[in-house]
Amino acid sequence: MPTRRLQDINDQPVDVPAATGRTHLQFRRFAACPICHLHLRSFANRHQEVADSGITEVVFFHSAADALRGYQSLLPFAVIADPDRVQYREFGVEKSLGAITHPRALWAAVRGSAAMLHRNDPERAGVGFGDGTTHLGLPADFLLDADGTVAAVHYGRHADDQWSVDQLIDINRSLGGKGTQ
């Protein structure tokens, strides 16, 4: 994959893939997704550990930048709006009714919704309430080498099926990247 320069929701340039190390592309669902909220909180809480492993985080949402803006300061990594799903199509990230009907996804939605009630608390803040294009989007994770080669990929089967921080670091380490002890 050739390097591309994208704009995050604050109009800052983001190179994908990053020039050094590996880049973790996360394809999330919509701005108000309670499942995405929980997931991204775990990555925000352990952002330094991920960065120390030589990994740059870039997160895509299929919501408009206005629905996402204002929450970027709470996430220590680039958030890119892709309401037309251009990157989603290019990477083959799909939609499915199964995204929201799997028991694990339903339980994560309940937990995430409860946590989002406290989104004004910086310790519990998420990506916000806003309209999205669909609730049926599936998550996906890509780990790219600096030359654009896809080193690892995971297409979620439901809305709560994505790499955890530990899985990401373990995958990176298994591919010869840095890992934390």
The pLDDT tens digits of the residues spanning 33-59 come to: 777 777 788 999 999 999 999 999 999
In this model, does residue 134 exceed pLDDT 60?
Answer: no
pLDDT value, residue 70 = 63
Convert the pLDDT of each residue in 78-88 to its tens digit: 999 999 989 98
Work out the average pLDDT over 1-22.
94
The domain limits of the chain are 4-174
- Eight-class DSSP state of 77: S
In this model, does residue 125 exceed pLDDT 50?
Answer: no
- Mean pLDDT score of the chain: 79
Which of 13, 12, 22 minimizes the C-alpha distance to 148?
22
- Most confident range (mean pLDDT) of 109-118, 137-146, 152-161 is 137-146
Say how far apart CA 115 and CA 38 lie, in whole Å: 8
Pick the CATH number of 4-174 from 3.40.30.10, 2.30.40.10, 3.40.47.10, 3.30.980.10: 3.40.30.10
Non-local CB neighbours of 112 within 8 Å, separated by 6+ positions: 33, 34, 35, 36, 37, 38, 126
pLDDT value, residue 71 = 60
- pTM score, two decimals? 0.78
What share of the chain has pLDDT > 70, as a percent? 70
DSSP string of 121-164, one letter each residue: STTT--S-S---S-S-BPPEEEEE-TTS-EEEEEE-SSTT-S--
pLDDT value, residue 181 = 47
